[in-house]
Amino acid sequence: MIEKEDPVISEEEAAQYDRQIRLWGLDAQKRLRGSRVLLAGLGGLGAEVAKNLILAGVKGLTLLDHEQVSEESCRAQFLVPVTAQGQNRAKASLERAQNLNPMVEVHADPDRIEDKPDDFFLQFDAVCLTGCSRDLMIRVDQLCSKHKIKVFCGDVYGYYGYMFCNLGQAHNYVEEKPKVVKPSGESNDGPEAKKAKVDPNETTMVKKTASFCTLKEALEVDWTSEKAKAGLKRTPVDYFLLQVLLKFRTDKGRDPDPQSFPEDSQLLRQIRDDVLESLSLNSDLLSDDFISYCFSEMSPVCAVVGGVLGQEVVKVRM
């Protein structure tokens, strides 16, 4: 791990981040200003996350992507110029990303993330993975968990999107809640007067601790166990759709492509049946309708998921 330096907010930065400082305080902005984040994957979702982190004011953001700019890239994300087709996607996104906020150190890395050694990831405070394979995400998540580095994963498939975060086994945070006013002991106005009341005009900060599982644990649930069976009805069907889409990416080395819709649709059905069978679940759990909604990245969906994913990274670093 790199040695942390005490972040200092200059007058220029204080003016730039004035609204945010008023919202969450100077100390929170200092912590955010001292954070270095790795963002892997500069598709539509990656571009949205990059924008949100840069505007929030992290210290440094590394854009890691070995893919080339395609016609779909130009439609799905706004950081690459339409004239950049054939260029490396990270490098092509650098200029517009940097122009969003010159105070943030934005770097482009054209290497394959699969070729990066473990030490590479340890220089960051948070790692955000988009467009990565299941095995790679599990590898990076396990590595970062050992070194207390926050991990975020996300993807967009058509109308469908997801995010995952691993903030550690004991993540401390504070939650703002309305202040509860205890009744005075001198009250003689009956039982109602003795009940605690909530004052909507005052709030108090409550310290809490949450425990997060690893991505491997989240994806490898034993659905034959009694505990898992009991929670099956409360589990969104999107969880199983994610399993199918990650398996498709593993098998084909890409996501479902609109230009090969008939072939990919048939393969998605087969993978659906295989995945649910391997989980000891009925294939009826995920109807054929899902196929119509998981092709290509859609910009509006990227904006929504990227907003949530970027905000979660910001909240953790505050």
Q: Is 271 exposed, middle or buried (0-12, 13-18, 19+ CB in 10 A)?
A: buried
pLDDT computed for residue 195 by the predictor: 63
Distance CA 196, CA 97 (A): 51
Helix (H, G, I), strand (E, B) or coil at 160: strand
Give Cα separations from 99 to 11, 40, 51, 60, 136 (angstroms).
20, 20, 10, 14, 31
Q: How many CA atoms lie within 13 A of 250 on its CB side?
A: 13
Q: Pairing between strand 36-40 and 160-166?
A: unpaired
Distance CA 134, CA 295 (A): 18
Taking only the tens place, the pLDDT of each residue in 244-270 is 999 999 999 999 999 999 999 999 999
Determine the Cα angle at 277 with ends 273 and 279, to 5°.
125
DSSP lists the bridge partners of residue 89 as: none
Distance CA 285, CA 244 (A): 12
Distance CA 67, CA 302 (A): 18
Percent above pLDDT 70 for the chain: 91
Tokens linked to 86: 């054939």
pLDDT computed for residue 243 by the predictor: 96
- Give, as one character, the DSSP assignment of residue 159: T
pLDDT computed for residue 186 by the predictor: 58
Q: What average pLDDT is seen over the chain?
A: 88
107 contacts 63 by C-beta, under 8 angstroms: yes
pLDDT computed for residue 1 by the predictor: 43
Taking only the tens place, the pLDDT of each residue in 102-142 is 999 999 999 999 999 999 999 999 999 999 999 999 999 99
Sign, CA torsion 58/163/244/219: positive
pLDDT computed for residue 2 by the predictor: 47
pLDDT computed for residue 253 by the predictor: 93
138 contacts 95 by C-beta, under 8 angstroms: no
Q: How many CA atoms lie within 13 A of 317 on its CB side?
A: 31
Sign, CA torsion 158/159/160/163: positive
Per-position DSSP letters for 247-259, written without gaps between them? HHHHHHSS---GG
- Three-state helix/strand/coil letters over 29-54: HHHHHCCEEEEECCCHHHHHHHHHHH
37 CB-near residues (< 8 Å, 6+ apart): 53, 58, 60, 61, 62, 124, 125, 126, 127, 128, 313, 317
pLDDT computed for residue 7 by the predictor: 66
Taking only the tens place, the pLDDT of each residue in 180-233 is 776 665 555 555 555 667 666 777 878 888 899 999 999 999 999 999 989 998
pLDDT tier at 92 (50, 70, 90 boundaries)? very high
